[in-house]
Amino acid sequence: MKIKLVELTKTYASDEKKDIAETKAVDSLSLEIQDGELLGLLGPSGCGKSTTLYMLAGLKAPTSGEIWFDDEEVTDLEAEKRGIGLVFQNYALYPHMTVYRNIAFPLTNLRIYIEKRDAKAVEAKKIREILDNPEDIRKAILESRIDGKIKKDSALRYLAKAFHVSLFTAKKLFPIGMAIGRADDEKILQRARQKYDAFLSKTKNEAERRGRKMGEDFCYCDDQGNRIMQTRRLTKDEIDCLVREVSHLVQIDDYLDRKPAELSGGQQQRVAIARALVKKPKVLLLDEPLSNLDARLRLKTREEIRRIQKETNITTVFVTHDQDEAMSICDRIVVMKDGRSRQVGRPQDVYNDPNDLFVAKFLGNPPINVFKGHIKAGKVYVGEECVSSCPGLPEKEVYVGIRPEGFLLPREIERQGASFHEILLDGLESMEGRLTLDIENIQANGKDVSLIGSHAAFVGDQLKITMDSETKPEIGKETFLVRASKLYLFDAVTKERIRF
């Protein structure tokens, strides 16, 4: 599903009694999301990302603009008709229901427009096909063993998963599978095959006797051979198949009989994702789904979200204020501020090539170090030190941004030898810039070392540099080489990027 937003705007009216001014939550947002893409809406609180998501879902009506799903405009279409799955920040699971019932709940009143078919005959045909490979039935049952013993409940789950059938169908396969390997197993299989062959033949004959035409897949047809369509609810078998299929996808097969309170935060989040996916939506919308999880679980769950999205190839919009989340799993990100898109692109491209100072400061952990600087005679100065050359640029005041990994100690380059020095300088980047900082603290972080420092021209809360753990910095004044590829210039007034 391809999504297109055209000049999408959401305005909240002013309220003079409460002294609230008119607010534009989303301001003329235009965006294209490709089919099967995972797009991240990224920005600080109040930037309009969740409002955009809820307008996509149909939960909020835009003030102006258009929303298109493929070639269909859905701007005014009701939420339930858009074919979306929505996962909320707080999971929104029903505490009194089991995991199975939570996932199945959206399906209970769902009405589908589908071919009219004989459901019992469809099930019988599926069982008859499975009976042609009895060794697969036995294999699934044996794989279900717990401590070497076959338990019926476990065996039924394995059969349902192995053959993509409901638990009700698995119950009919179980006794046949248990008989395989006995002396009379061929007779049992033969009787079972004959039983289902006779049932399928009887069903077709009965349809013909009543003047109904039936296709090979047991769908009813009209006199011209066209399939007859109907609107109906899902059967128990169909619901069971869908629940077990999606629970397997999100890896919660073993928790279907538990209540939400018996699950971890990550497991609850996977239940919420399963519930959103069970209706086979065209679009999956995730509203800060990881914010309630601890740091370790957040890492694991975001990898799960990426895996699920890749396996389903569903178009997904992921809202977050955490740039680590967005950069690690999204195909593209949209950095938003004040309801507007500031930059759209692949995460690493946006990080390496920010359009303005806001984007540069928002992406990166630790954040970019920003200094007041000026351009003079084709060179960039921070204080009295030249940090880079910039031929052709006019003299003016600027902000100089240097990524935390953009600093190197000259003695470390010498210590690592000429080959390292050549790698840095051979066509990759210039190291002509230097900047002296007061190092006040050194923090060991395992593979990295963080240096906390200060400078008279620094603008921000904390000046932080990251270096390899083998680096041997010292407290006090240190003069660093500045990597040209990690240095950015921004206009002091507009904050727009100055490329050079």
What secondary structure does DSSP assign to 377-442, as a single string?
Answer: TTEEEETTEEEEE-TTPPSEEEEEEE-GGGEE-HHHHHHH-HHHHHHHHTTT----EEEEEEEEEE
Separation between Cα atoms, residue 261 and residue 474, nearest integer Å? 51
pTM (2 d.p.): 0.82
More confident residue, 366 or 20: 366
pLDDT at 420: 46
Residue 78, burial from CB neighbour count under 10 angstroms (0-12, 13-18, 19+): exposed
Separation between Cα atoms, residue 155 and residue 145, nearest integer Å? 7
Neighbours of 323 (CB within 10 A): 21
Please state whether the peptide bond connecting residue 394 to the residue before it is cis, i.e. omega within 30 degrees of 0.
no
Percent pLDDT > 90 in the chain is 70
Phi, psi of 43 (to 5 degrees): 170, 170
More confident residue, 202 or 295: 202
> pLDDT digit string (tens) for 473-483?
889 999 999 99
Neighbours of 90 (CB within 10 A): 12
CATH 3.40.50.300 corresponds to the domain 1-83+281-365: yes
Rg of the chain, C-alpha, whole Å: 31
Q: Which residue has the tokens 């178009």?
A: 315
| DSSP for residue 282 | S
Q: Which residue has the tokens 């009219």?
A: 116
What would you measure as the largest C-alpha separation in the chain, in angstroms? 98
Amino acid residing at 398 = V
Separation between Cα atoms, residue 449 and residue 54, nearest integer Å? 42
Residues belonging to the chain: 500
More confident residue, 473 or 365: 365
Upper half-sphere CA count for residue 310 (Cβ side, 13 Å): 9
Residue 70 pLDDT greater than 80, yes or no: yes
Residues 10 and 55: beta-carbon distance below 8 Å: yes
Query: CA 75, 78, 82 angle in degrees (round to 5)?
Result: 75
> pLDDT digit string (tens) for 114-132?
999 999 999 999 999 999 9
Q: What is the mean pLDDT of the chain?
A: 90
- Domain locations along the chain: 1-83+281-365, 111-233, 367-498
pLDDT band, very low/low/confident/very high, at 287 (cuts 50, 70, 90): very high
pLDDT at 413: 66
Cβ neighbours for 257, distance < 8 A, ≥ 6 positions apart: 98, 99, 100
Residues 180 and 135: beta-carbon distance below 8 Å: yes
Residue among 220, 222, 217, 175 at smallest CA distance from 200? 217
> pLDDT digit string (tens) for 378-433?
999 999 999 999 999 999 999 999 999 999 888 666 655 544 444 444 434 455 68
Separation between Cα atoms, residue 442 and residue 71, nearest integer Å? 56
Q: How far is CA 370 from the centre of its chain?
A: 31
Residues 127 and 134: beta-carbon distance below 8 Å: no
> pLDDT digit string (tens) for 425-472?
443 445 568 999 999 999 988 788 999 999 999 999 999 999 887 777
Separation between Cα atoms, residue 149 and residue 32, nearest integer Å? 54
pLDDT at 418: 46
Residue among 425, 423, 427, 478 at smallest CA distance from 449? 478
